[in-house]
Amino acid sequence: MNEPGEQEVIVVIDDDAAMRLSCRKILAKAGYRVETFEDGAQGLEGVARLKPGLAVVDLKMPGLSGLEVIARVHQLDPLTVVVVITGYATIDTAVEAIKAGAYDFLPKPFSPEELRLIVGRALERRRLVLDSRRGEMERELLKRRFVTFVSHQLQTPLAAVHQYLSVLRQLEDLGEAGGRRREWIERCLKRSEEMQTIIRDWLTLARLEGDRLVRQCARVDLRQIIPNILATYAEMAAAERVTLEARLPEEAAWVRGDLNCLNVLFDNLIVNAIKYNRPGGRVTISAEALGGEVEVAVADTGVGIPPQYQEFLFDEFFRIRGEGAKKTAGTGLGLSIAKKIVTELGGSIAVVSEPGVGSTFRVRLPAWREPAAEEGRDGSAA
Amino acid sequence: MAASVKVLVIDDDEDFRASLRPVLETQGYAVLEAESGDEGLKKLVEHRPNVIIVDIMMESSTEGYGVTQAIRWQEAYQDFRGIPIIMVSSIEQSPEERFPMAGELDMIRPDTYLTKPLDFPRLLETLRRIAAPS
C-alpha cells in the first residue's frame, strides 16, 4: 500500500491506442496515476521504473505475449497485481492468464464501471497481501531482537566467568594479586549459578507454552499449599529480617490448577516480596473466595514499583534498574512465568504498587467446579 | 612510561570491570570505572581519560551507542570528540547490523568493536595501537 496521500500507480500495456486512451481516462478519473505502453517490452521497462501497484495487460499483443508479460511483471515484483484484458474471452484463455499469475481478467468490451470495480478489487487484494506481509516482517524482527536479547542475557555471566578465569591464569604466571584470587573464584561461582537459574527459568517458561497445563488440572486447596510454601521461605525471610504472614479462609479454597505450577507461581511472588522488601518489613499472603474465583494477594512493604515500569513488569527479562533500584540478583523471568501460569489456568494477575510503600500482587484463579456440575450448567444455559 | 595512559571502563557489569582492572593495571594503565553511561560521561569530563571502553547493552538498552553519540556530537563533550572509543558487547551483533542505516551508523561508529569475553592480548594490542598518554 502506498503512503496516505500518495497516488497509486497503474501501468496499462495494450497495443490498441483507443483502449490505452480509455483506460487512462477512466482510471485517472478514479484518482489513480496512469502510465500507458503500447507493447510488452516498453511496458516491462515502465513496470521496472514506476513500480506500479497494478498492471493492466492486454493478452493478445504483437511481440511479447500477455502471458509472458505477466510472468515478467511478477519477476520484477511478485506483489504487483495483474489484471488481464482480452478480446478473445474464452474460459481457456482466462484460466491460462490466472495460471500465469493474473489476479483476474476482463473481457472486451467493458464498461468504465467494470474496469473501476475490478481495479479496485485487485488493489484491495494487494493491500491485504502487503498488510499481512508487513505483520510477518514485524513478527520476524521482534523474534530476531528477542533471540539477540536472550543470548545477551546468557552470554553476560559466561563472559564474566571467562574473564575471571583468564585473569587468574595470567596473574598466576605473574605471581601477583594472590589476595583477590579467592574473591574472584567466589564471583565465578555466583555468576555460573546465575546462568543456571536463567536457563532453568527459561526452560520453565518454554514448557509452559501450549495447553498441556490446562489438561493436567486437578483440584488444589490453596489453604493447604500456601503454608507449605511459606515454610520453605522462612529461613530466607529471617535472613532478610522480613516477617511472613498468611491470612487464609476457614474453609478450603479449591481452585482448578496444576500443583507444581501453582507452587512455582506462589514461589515467585513470595520470593519477590521478600527480596524487594526492607529489613523489618512484612509479607502478607491472603486468599479469599470471590464467586467463581479465588483471589490470592501477596503484599509486601518494600521498595515498590515506579508507575512508569508497571506495564512492563510481566515482560520477559524486564528488570527495574537505574538509580534507586535495589541491586538484587534475578533473571527477569519470574513474573513472566507467573503471568504465563495464571493465564494458562484461565485466571488473571495484576499489581498495585506505591514506591517506598510496597506492592500487592493479586492473582485470581477459577474456583474448582465438579465436572458434572459444569456440564449441567452448560446444558441449562443452552 | 612517564605518564600512564588512563582508561575509562563504562559497564554495568561489576564483574566485567573487576576482571579487567588487574589486566590493565599490570600493564601500567590507570583504570577509572563507571557503571552507567551518565556516570561515564561525568568521569570523562572530571578525569580526562585517554581512551574509553564502553559496553553496548547496559540496563537492557543500547546505552553504549548513546555514550559514543554524546561524545562525538554533543557540544558539552567537544573537548573529547577525538578520544578513542572501544565498544564491547557479549553479543556478536556488529554496529552495521544494529543500525542498518548508514547515516545513523556514521554518527556512532566506534573506533573498535570487541566481543565479550575480552581476548586480553588482543585488547592490550588494540590499546597500544590507539591510546596515547596526554
How high is the ipTM of this complex? 0.80
pLDDT one-digit tens code per residue, A316-369: 777 765 544 555 666 778 888 889 889 888 899 999 999 889 999 999 999 988
Which residues of B lie inside 8 Å of A (Cβ-Cβ)?
12-13, 15-16, 18-20, 22-23, 26, 36, 57, 59-60, 89-91, 93, 116-118, 120
Does A318 or B103 have the greater pLDDT score?
A318
DSSP symbols for A331-344: -S-HHHHHHHHHHH
Other beta carbons within 10 Å of A213 = 19
The average pLDDT across A158-171 equals 89
Phi and psi angles of residue A26, each rounded to the nearest 5 degrees, phi first: -65, -45
Give me the residue from B19, B22, B23 closest to A160, CB to CB.
Answer: B19
Q: What are the pLDDT digits (tens) for B7-66?
A: 999 998 999 999 999 999 989 999 999 998 999 999 999 999 999 999 988 764 567 888
Name the closest residue on chain A to residue B94, using Cα atoms. Answer: A148
- Residues 98-127 of chain A with CB under 8 A from chain B are none
Residue A3 has pLDDT above 60, yes or no: no
Task: Look at A210 and A50; give whichever has higher pLDDT.
Answer: A50
Condensed to tens digits (0 to 9), the pLDDT of residues A137-149 reads 777 777 777 777 7
Average pLDDT over residues B111-124: 89
Q: Which residues of B touch A167 (CB under 8 A)?
A: 19, 22-23, 120
CA gap A83, A57 in Å, rounded: 6
Over residues A144-156, the mean pLDDT reads 78
Q: Is A113 helix (H, G, I), strand (E, B) or coil?
A: helix
Does A282 have pLDDT greater than 90? Answer: yes
Task: Tell me the C-alpha to C-alpha distance, in Å, between residue B103 and each of A172, B67, B113.
Answer: 47, 17, 18
Instruction: Report in angstroms the alpha-carbon separations of A46 from A6, A10, A12, A70, A76.
Output: 18, 10, 10, 13, 11
Quote the percentage of chain B above a pLDDT of 90: 46
Per-residue model confidence as pLDDT tens digits over A60-109: 888 888 889 999 999 998 889 999 988 766 677 778 888 888 998 888 88
Establish whether the linkage from the previous residue to A4 is cis, with ω within 30° of 0. no
Q: A15-48 pLDDT, tens per residue?
A: 999 999 999 999 999 999 999 999 999 999 999 9
Average pLDDT, chain A: 84
What's the whole-model pTM score?
Answer: 0.58
CB neighbours of A223 closer than 8 A, spacing ≥ 6?
A: A248, A249, A251, A252, A253, A287
Does the pLDDT of residue A380 top 50, yes or no?
Answer: no
Mutual angle of helices A66-76 and A91-99, in 10-degree steps: 20
Burial class (CB in 10 A: 0-12, 13-18, 19+), A145: exposed
Tell me which of B9, B20, B62, B91 to substitute to probe the interface with A (most A C-beta atoms closer than 10 Å).
B91
> Residue A8 in contact with residue A2, Cβ under 8 Å?
yes
